[in-house]
Structure 1
Amino acid sequence: MRISSAIPAVLAVAALALAGCSSPDGADDGEWPEELTISLVPSVQGEDLAEALDPLTEYLSDGLGIEVNGVVATDYAATVEALGAGQSQVIITDAGSLYHATTQFDAELILRDVRFGATSYASMAVTNNPDKYCDGEVVTASYEASDDEFSYCNGIEPGSEATGEGPGGLEALAKIDADTPVALQAATSPAGYQYPIVSIKEQGIDTDQDIDQIPVEGNNNAILAVYNGDAEVGFAYWDARVDVLDEAPDVAEKTVAFAYTDMIPNGGVAVADSLPDDLVAELTELMDDYASSSDEAATVMFDLVGLSDWTDETAEDEIDRYGEVLEQFTN
């Protein structure tokens, strides 16, 4: 059986034990296990799970010549727990969990998630007061995903096609003065809170005392808070302004992006260090090729985990930086 039904995370870890899958001797003697288990948090749930997950596990089983099982974790942390317990050997998870898996359990990062051609994204700072935060003229650039024109300054978009590549313009965050209302999302949001807070602090600002934090839910509401004048500065992923065009069609004129944070990494795929190198190499190649193997595979991948592809260009420095940011918010 290649599909395990959705179960709570604690039970999932207990239910995953598979004889012969987690022997630490595998990496030493080159022997392949008889089967592998992949732990992931799918985008689909319930009755759609088997339909979404089975094509991937069957593709990998056929390619590797061993049985590949899929099991559902209820959250990303559970994927790391399963790998650390030796009860799964492959995890498809988020960037924070990749960091914990590699640092705590010596897992190997083999692939990064690709969404719409990108493996990472910046958080952007937007304002309704460009005279204060923009050094030089405001320019427009085309957001390729929608062909909409948005406003930028401080040289963060030097060409006619916007790229969203950070960091850039961060020195302008030093212009946030006492009691400036700043729209921030939940403390667990990398683009809406964590990277912005770290970036503001690096400009010498006490984010607890020197700004007025305006809590909002979601990237669209961070943009709308600035658009409506409830906040002077807001943070969201690049370029979340596209999400509010229906309700704020003139958002490009009323809000200007003036800074990009460091790039925030997408998640990816990691494997246990007990797996033989040749198995890891074949698994990596198979998963890297999956999205392009058929039209069905591309659909399955997007429906299953919301991705357009995987890439073996893992950019581990971005994962390490993400870990440094996360550690600032521990406890």
Structure 2
Amino acid sequence: MRNFKKLSAFAVALLATVMLSACGNGNHKQSNSAGPKSLNVQFVPSVAANKMEGRAKPIEKMLSKRLGIPAHVTVSTDNNAVIEAMKSKKVDVGFLPADAYVQAHKQGAADVLLQSERYGLKEPGGTWTKQLVHTLRSEILVKKNSKIKSWKDLKGKSISIQSPTSTTGYIFPIAELKQKGFDVTKNCKLVTVTGHDQGVLNVLSGDTDAAFVFEDARNNVLQDNPKVKSQVVPIYFTRPVPNDTISVIPSLPKAFREKLAKAFIAIGKSKAGKKVIESVYDQEGYIPAKDSDYNIVRKYQKIAQAVKK
């Protein structure tokens, strides 16, 4: 009888332990599904970092209001810094361009949440339309009245390019021309510059014969040279490149991701929010995105990397 009482007491204690453990696990899951207690958002600079941070800071209050948690906005030095910060979970949300997103996803650092929208462009004048688009193109610019009339005339010519990680300033034109049988790296003199506006200016000044830039990078030079569009003209456009992303770390719960996506979309639709994102990246809003939207970037990356070798 004494042994039976001891056994009963042990069974009750064991059951209590199991129940407490189950409750603890349930609370843990509930906490995870609720999302983070604060949100760290990081941008890649499109202008000087100090200017960029000042422009992006208002998003902190807008996000905090919609999410009900503190949001912190910072500006990184470059794409790789954002990726590393997301890998170490120091940053929850990164504004990553197409190529950087693909790299981050490959490293298990990011999942795409949203894709940016911009106003479309009417070519060859490069004037803005009222239609929102979620892609852009790369273009090849030359000086007006140049003997270069098509990509076939680029042989032996000098070209201003961006770094090999730039989708529009390197990867897409390099890969697409390779598919046409033209190896830019072997047939042309490549001059790496920093900034698509510098590519435009190099063509304008005659420092290079052509430039690989995003469509329409000439708009970034208009303020200093209102006549640039009549002096520098496009001769080739690549297929569309998917727009920049708002990406999140993989550990961010699904329910919170949905809440975050709604918050960013709402910010893009609000008058105050639109003003901020226009000043930061010339973006007009956001739409849902999926990883497969960026398969074309992966395909062109492989081609460009093979050409580089």
State if a TM-score over 0.5 links the two structures.
yes
Q: Tell whether the 8 Å contact from 1:37 to 1:71 is kept in structure 2 after alignment.
A: no
- The structure whose Rg is larger is 2
Among candidates 136, 139, 146, match of residue 121 of structure 1: 136
**Deviation of 1:229 (Å):** 5.8
1:322 aligns with 2:300: no
Q: Percent identity of the aligned residues?
A: 21
CA RMSD of aligned residues (A): 3.9
**Deviation of 1:288 (Å):** 0.8
Among candidates 81, 85, 89, match of residue 82 of structure 1: 85
Among candidates 304, 308, 329, match of residue 283 of structure 2: 308
Query: CA separation in 1, counterparts of 2:284 and 2:228?
Result: 33
Q: Tell whether the 8 Å contact from 2:158 to 2:189 is kept in structure 1 after alignment.
A: yes
1:299 aligns with 2:302: no
Match in the other structure for 1:184: 160
Match in the other structure for 2:151: 173
CA shift in 2, pair 1:228/1:57, >3 Å: closer
CA shift in 2, pair 1:57/1:261, >3 Å: same
Give structure 2 stretches of 5+ with no counterpart.
Answer: 1-26, 120-131
- TM-score normalised to structure 1 length: 0.63
Give structure 1 stretches of 5+ with no counterpart.
Answer: 1-24, 135-171
Query: CA separation in 2, counterparts of 1:109 and 1:258?
Result: 33
1:100 aligns with 2:76: no
**Deviation of 1:291 (Å):** 2.7
1:58 aligns with 2:61: yes
**SS of aligned partner of 2:251:** coil
Query: Which structure 2 residues correspond to residues 1-331 of structure 1 after superposition, within 5 A?
Result: 31-41=33-43, 43=45, 45-46=49-50, 49=53, 52-53=56-57, 55-105=58-108, 107-116=110-119, 117-127=132-142, 172-177=150-155, 179=156, 181-188=157-164, 189-213=166-190, 218-223=195-200, 225-226=202-203, 232-243=209-220, 247=225, 249=227, 252=230, 256-295=233-272, 297-303=273-279, 305-314=280-289, 316-327=291-302, 328-329=304-305
Q: Could you say which structure has the higher helix fraction? A: 2
1:108-149 CA distances to partner (integer Å, 9 max, x unpaired)? 311112344443321212345889766xxxxxxxxxxxxxxx
CA shift in 2, pair 1:278/1:264, >3 Å: same
**SS of aligned partner of 2:60:** helix
**Deviation of 1:315 (Å):** 6.3
- TM-score normalised to structure 2 length: 0.67
Query: CA separation in 2, counterparts of 1:38 and 1:300?
Result: 18
Q: Tell me the number of residue pairs that the alignment of Structure 1 and Structure 2 aligns.
A: 265
Query: CA separation in 2, counterparts of 1:199 and 1:126?
Result: 16
**SS of aligned partner of 1:35:** coil
Query: CA separation in 2, counterparts of 1:218 and 1:84?
Result: 27
**SS of aligned partner of 1:235:** strand
Query: CA separation in 2, counterparts of 1:240 and 1:47?
Result: 20
